[in-house]
């Protein structure tokens, strides 16, 4: 028996999905912000041909793109949190937040792993573990494919 009433477990579970999706969204944004910070620090310290990796234009531009994505994600997340606290966050927006933010999280962390080069794949570096951990974010609390359906139903 799930919950107090037989046959109502699914509905009781659904009441908490919005909170779960928002929690996953928070983790996604925090991970993006940390990945950008770690990558910028790494690129300042890592020397390539005697110069910091961050002196390479491509590296700077990639880190700038990742920082922008995480900043935009933070604004959207903060808006969702405000609406949730006021009881005004609807399930579709919660689904959009979880789906979009975890997709952006994976993209940002993947770019940061790439900028770490071979070190990005070694578990001694936090960025490698972040990449592994963020993969599952697109699955739990409703897979992103299912959430796209939820969003599409609202059209």
Q: Which two tokens stand for residue 120?
A: 């990005």
Among 6, 15, 20, 41, the one annotated catalytic: 20
**CB count in 10 Å sphere of residue 151:** 16
H-run or E-run covering 63: helix 57-85
| Cα 13 from Cα 132, distance rounded (Å) | 28
**Phi and psi based region of residue 90 (left: phi greater than 0; alpha: psi -120 to 50; beta: remaining):** beta
Q: Which two tokens stand for residue 42?
A: 């790494």
Q: Say whether 6 is catalytic.
A: no
Main-chain phi, psi angles of 51, to 5 degrees:
-120, 155
Report the SS3 class of residue 52: strand
Catalytic residue numbers, as ranges: 20
């Amino acid at each position: 028996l799930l919950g107090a009433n037989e046959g109502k477990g699914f509905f009781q579970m659904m009441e908490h999905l919005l909170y779960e999706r928002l929690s996953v969204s928070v983790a996604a944004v925090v991970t993006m912000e940390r990945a950008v910070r770690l990558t910028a620090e790494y690129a300042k310290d890592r020397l390539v041909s005697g110069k910091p990796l961050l002196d390479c234009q491509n590296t700077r531009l990639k880190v700038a793109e990742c920082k922008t994505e995480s900043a935009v994600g933070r604004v959207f997340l903060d808006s969702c949190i405000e609406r949730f606290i006021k009881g005004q966050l609807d399930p579709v927006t919660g689904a959009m937040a979880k789906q979009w933010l975890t997709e952006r999280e994976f993209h940002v962390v993947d770019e940061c792993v790439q900028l770490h080069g071979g070190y990005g794949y070694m578990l001694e570096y936090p960025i490698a573990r972040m990449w592994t951990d963020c993969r599952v974010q697109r699955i739990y609390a409703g897979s992103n494919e299912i959430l796209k359906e939820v969003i599409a139903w609202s059209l």
